[in-house]
């Protein structure tokens, strides 16, 4: 630095510093930072009402080298008195806007040993050039590594050389796959991906025909569960009716019983090839069918329940491979709820939730039996792991009585 210099170098970096004691003032910080070079400006962030330090500050050195030297020596390394975590020192947000800081030089490192610290990662990548920033991602406690990191080099060429030499070069301790080294997503890419996800999940009736059968099945099942588990309003049933009509119009009739389900919904069967006509009909008739839809939806379940009542309380089983054991059911679920939830996959012979004889409460597991193994397999594929509230269903084939082998 020139002794006459009054402004910092054009390429210097304004640094944000966290994890500093709240009782430290500017002089305390100045004593710590001046070890790395002359300071152009520094200010502690304070509460506007009380003037109390927030435990963080901004510091700008006259030179870029001094800022990077300070970061390398302090970030995640030095812990100040009375603090429980090491200093956090990174470029301020203003340095990153518009991709100005490091976006074209920043690497994502995955499948990294969880034993590696920032220093270990720096040593690993130091041969490829000057490292400006290195951060190991940690869990919410700030101590345990997540097995991945970000490394920012001084130049894009350094970063490219690191990718070329290190990507898939080794499998580290505790990792199931080789080391991953690639350019980190830019802010623009993150925003584009987020926008794409929002678009994909938006309500777009004309696009439902292009979705996979399992996705559509899960959507319908979820709505069934909502309608069956709570005091359903007319709006819930109206939406479910419309959704089923859309699925039927999308020619998904062969997907695990979806066609039969759609076919029962007031004539919107899977044979209707004109999606727009079906949708128009569904929209125009939604008010008319909203009130009557619950009865239409429950009709099949009521018929099967009536048939099952002749058997008594004993669980009626289907052929081998067609009987399911379902764990982690909501405690408020009864036989009818269980049947409604598994109806979309095929013809159910019986559905039974087991009740504790002493408490008369559900044991939160039950059996569902179909008339064919194919329906059972479809139910397993779509419903195993399906989340209801805080629980995820566990759906598996019931072991035959003559099979003594454990699962």
pLDDT at 140: 80
User: CA–CA separation, 211 vs 243, rounded Å?
Assistant: 13
Tell me the per-residue pLDDT of 4-45, one tens digit each, with 9 for 90 and over: 677 888 888 889 999 999 999 999 999 999 999 999 999 999
pLDDT of residue 331 exceeding 80, the answer is yes
| Identical fold between 1-95 and 96-187 | yes
pLDDT class for 295, splitting at 50, 70, 90?
A: very low
Question: What is the chain's alpha carbon radius of gyration, rounded to the nearest angstrom?
Answer: 31
Q: Do 70 and 30 form a contact (C-beta atoms < 8 A)?
A: no
pLDDT at 316: 79
Characterize the bridge pairing of strands 53-61 and 131-138: unpaired
Dihedral pair phi/psi, residue 368, rounded to 5°: -130, 130
> Of 92-101, 201-210, 368-377, which gets the smallest average pLDDT?
201-210
pLDDT of residue 259 exceeding 50, the answer is no
pLDDT class for 104, splitting at 50, 70, 90?
A: confident
Q: Percent of the chain, pLDDT > 90? A: 34
pLDDT at 342: 87
Q: Where are the domains of the chain?
A: 1-95, 96-187, 203-303, 311-397
Taking CA atoms, 401 is separated from 133, 208, 405, 406, in Å, by: 62, 42, 10, 12
User: CA–CA separation, 118 vs 41, rounded Å?
Assistant: 28
pLDDT at 22: 93
Dihedral pair phi/psi, residue 295, rounded to 5°: -65, -40
Helical (H) or strand (E) element with 89: strand 88-91
User: CA–CA separation, 207 vs 201, rounded Å?
Assistant: 11
Taking CA atoms, 28 is separated from 22, 36, 44, in Å, by: 11, 14, 11
**96-187 maps to CATH 3.30.70.330:** yes
Tell me the per-residue pLDDT of 182-200, one tens digit each, with 9 for 90 and over: 998 877 777 776 666 555 4
pLDDT of residue 113 exceeding 80, the answer is yes
Kindly report the CATH number that applies to the domain delimited by 1-95.
3.30.70.330
pLDDT of residue 251 exceeding 50, the answer is no
CB atoms within 10 A of CB 265: 21
pLDDT class for 242, splitting at 50, 70, 90?
A: low
pLDDT, greater one: 309 or 73: 73
The residues, ordered by sequence, that sit 6+ positions from 26 with a Cβ below 8 Å of its Cβ are 42, 43, 44
Share the mean pLDDT of the chain: 74
pLDDT, greater one: 98 or 60: 60
Among residues 359, 326, 349, which one has the least CA distance to residue 225?
Answer: 326
Q: Is 15 exposed, middle or buried (0-12, 13-18, 19+ CB in 10 A)?
A: buried
Sign of CA dihedral 248, 254, 258, 264: positive
User: CA–CA separation, 62 vs 33, rounded Å?
Assistant: 12
The DSSP secondary-structure symbol of 184 reads P
User: CA–CA separation, 100 vs 93, rounded Å?
Assistant: 10
> Of 92-96, 116-120, 349-353, which gets the smallest average pLDDT?
92-96
The CA-based dihedral angle spanning residues 202, 203, 206, 210, taken in that order and rounded to the nearest 10 degrees:
50
Q: Tell which CATH architecture fits domain 311-397.
A: 2-Layer Sandwich (3.30)
Q: Do 363 and 355 form a contact (C-beta atoms < 8 A)?
A: yes
Whole-model pTM: value is 0.34
């Amino acid at each position: 630095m020139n002794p006459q210099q009054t402004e910092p170098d054009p390429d210097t970096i304004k640094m944000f510093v966290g994890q500093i004691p709240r009782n430290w003032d500017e002089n305390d910080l100045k004593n710590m930072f001046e070890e790395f070079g002359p300071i152009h400006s520094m200010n502690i962030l304070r509460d506007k009402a009380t003037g109390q330090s927030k435990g963080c500050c901004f510091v700008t050195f006259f030179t870029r080298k001094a800022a990077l030297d300070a970061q390398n020596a302090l970030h995640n390394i030095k812990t100040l008195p009375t603090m429980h975590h090491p200093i956090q020192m990174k470029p301020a947000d203003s340095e990153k806007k518009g991709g100005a800081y490091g976006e074209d030089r920043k690497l994502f490192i995955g499948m990294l040993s969880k034993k590696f610290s920032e220093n270990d990662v720096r040593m690993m990548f130091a041969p490829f050039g000057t490292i400006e920033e290195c951060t190991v991602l940690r869990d919410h406690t700030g101590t345990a590594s997540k097995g991945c990191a970000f490394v920012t080099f001084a130049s894009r060429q350094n970063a490219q050389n690191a990718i070329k030499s290190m990507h898939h070069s080794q499998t580290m301790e505790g990792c199931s796959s080789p080391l991953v080294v690639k350019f980190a997503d830019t802010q623009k890419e993150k925003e584009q991906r987020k926008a794409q996800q929002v678009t994909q999940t938006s309500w777009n009736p004309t696009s439902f025909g292009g979705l996979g059968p399992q996705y559509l099945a899960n959507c319908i099942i979820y709505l069934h569960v909502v309608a069956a588990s709570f005091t359903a309003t007319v709006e819930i049933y109206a939406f479910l009716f419309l959704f089923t009509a859309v699925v039927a119009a999308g020619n998904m009739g062969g997907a695990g019983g979806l066609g039969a389900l759609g076919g029962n919904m007031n004539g919107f069967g899977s044979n209707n090839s004109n999606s727009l006509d079906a949708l128009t009909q569904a929209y125009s008739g939604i008010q008319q069918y909203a009130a009557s839809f619950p009865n239409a939806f429950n009709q099949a379940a009521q018929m099967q329940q009536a048939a099952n009542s002749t058997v008594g309380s004993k669980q009626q089983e289907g052929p081998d491979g067609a009987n399911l054991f379902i764990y982690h059911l909501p405690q408020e679920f009864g036989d009818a709820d269980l049947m409604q939830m598994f109806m979309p996959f095929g013809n159910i012979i019986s559905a039974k939730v087991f009740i504790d004889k002493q408490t008369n409460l559900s044991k939160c597991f039950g059996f569902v039996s179909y008339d064919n193994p194919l329906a059972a397999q479809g139910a397993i594929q779509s419903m195993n792991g399906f989340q209801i509230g805080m629980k995820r269903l566990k759906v598996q084939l019931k072991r035959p009585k003559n099979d003594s082998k454990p699962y």
